[in-house]
Amino acid sequence: MSSSPEILVSGIAHLGGRLLFDSLTLQLRPGEWTALLGPSGSGKSTLLRLIAGLPVAAEFEGHIEADDKQGLSGRIGYMAQQDLLLEWATIRDNIALGSRLRGQACPPDRLADIIGAVGLDDKAEKRPCELSGGQRQRVALARTLLEDRPVILLDEPFSALDARTRADMQDLAASHLVGRTVLLVTHDPGEAVRLCSHIYLLQDNRLVEAPALSGPFPKPVDDGDALALQAKLLMQIRSGT
């Protein structure tokens, strides 16, 4: 894995003639987790897809740059809201899909470790249709972790998981993505507070950096400071200020 860069995003976006976000500046610090919170339709996923270099419906005018002046192509691991699994392929093959598409051999030991880490040892030869929604999301997370990229973009990666598995997968992702530049899009202030050293709110066409806690991360699920900040962020989101 190459070193993890700092990424700076600045610009303005319109969607169908509607202002999506205005004079936005988003800084993703190198090797740290950043959360992007906001209501549905505020442009969070659009912003993440812009960084990933993926097509969007919005019109964007601005800049997306890494501090090392190198392009981001080939340096990003992306996990979408949908699991995007191939229904005809086994779980093992779905997780190793990136290597297969590049014509590269996937290290079998690393693949086995990742499958075991997400708790899918007994599902490796099954097809996606045989899995629950939460299990499918774990496959998608495993595929992203296996890619081992310096920049990781996560779009609601734990939304389909039950509370216990969600906390376990948060811990897993945090342990496997140490030193990466991570952007987490989430609707959950608790998730943002638990995992991220920087938090932004995107609402009413503007981006505001919110308070965040100092490390280490992830925070314990019963951390008093984290719970208090979670409540503060939720009230801020609800009030729209």
Residue 216 lies in a domain: yes
- pLDDT given at position 2: 59
Number of domains making up the chain:
2
* CATH number of 206's domain: 3.40.50.300
DSSP 128: G
Same domain, 155 and 142: no
Same domain, 139 and 183: no
Same domain, 157 and 203: yes
Residue 10 lies in a domain: yes
Same domain, 64 and 8: yes
Same domain, 206 and 240: yes
CA distances from 42 to 30, 71, 205, 232 (A): 25, 27, 7, 20
Residue 171 lies in a domain: no
Same domain, 11 and 68: yes
Helix (H, G, I), strand (E, B) or coil at 140: helix
Same domain, 90 and 126: yes
Same domain, 159 and 52: yes
Name the band, by pLDDT with cuts 50, 70 and 90, for residue 204. confident
The model's pTM is 0.93
Same domain, 59 and 155: yes
Q: CB-side exposure of 94: number of CA atoms within 13 Å?
A: 27
Same domain, 119 and 34: no
Residue 132 lies in a domain: yes
Same domain, 60 and 157: yes
Same domain, 158 and 71: yes
Residue 35 has phi, psi (to 5 degrees) of -105, 145
Q: What pLDDT digit, counting tens, does each position of 121-130 carry?
A: 999 999 999 9
Task: Tell me if 29 sits within 8 A of 77, measured CB to CB.
Answer: no
- pLDDT given at position 16: 87
Nearest Cα residue to 176 out of 222, 143, 134, 131:
143
Question: Which domain range does residue 112 map to?
Answer: 83-148
Q: What pLDDT digit, counting tens, does each position of 21-73 carry?
A: 888 999 999 999 999 998 888 889 999 999 999 999 999 999 999 999 998 98
